[in-house]
Amino acid sequence: MASQFKPKGLFMGGIADHGFKAFLNRKGPVTKIEDMGKYKWRVIPNELFLDTYKAMGASPITLPWPEVFSALQRGVIDGIDITPNECWGAKVYEVIKYMSLCKLGMNPIVYVASQKFLDRLSPDLRAIVIKGMKEAAKWHTAKIRQEDATVVMPDLKKKGVIINYVTDKELARFRKAVASVHKKWRQKVGTDLYDQAIAFLKEYRTR
């Protein structure tokens, strides 16, 4: 994926796995794809996200992040999709009751730097910065995973969040439902970038 940044004058130094998104809801869990149509879901104002939620049978509502907490409090929306770590950090557990883990999508953090900035550095400093970006991405991934396992998930359960895992059988139905969306966006973003992104997702899904 690094080649996709070059035309923009950017250098990609690494990608951190910030965790897989979960369906968070104030009314009930997601155990099957039919549940998606029961609730009012918030999505970011992005065509890809809108396409995906509509394909899953939902009627998505676009809201900027700063409005999400109060919208959940007031019942304007019922659910969102963020990672457990993000839920914990933003205290979203105060306004939701259910967390359905599914590994359908992830929230990577990309470490980038201006190529002009790197080019102005001496070779030794440039090497240090590039190495630092790669190491930071690995450290970030390890920290999130360790924190999720030892702090985040236990604390969410302690705070009363009801956690369930969507079964592999149901996940296959979700993937089938969004197949047309994948086909559309593979053409829009380019086959190379799409295939690299899917490969990255599959790699981290098995870890």
The whole-chain average pLDDT of the chain stands at: 94
As a whole number of angstroms, the distance between CA 201 and CA 130 comes to: 23
In this prediction, residue 106 carries a pLDDT of 86
Q: Rounded to two decimals, what is the model's pTM?
A: 0.89
Q: Which amino acid is at 33?
A: I
As a whole number of angstroms, the distance between CA 83 and CA 86 comes to: 5
132-179 residue pLDDT tens: 999 999 999 999 999 999 999 999 999 999 999 999 999 999 999 999
pLDDT band with cut points at 50, 70 and 90 for residue 104: confident
At the top level of CATH, the class of 14-179 is alpha beta
**Could you state, in order of their start, the residue ranges of all structural domains in the chain?**
14-179
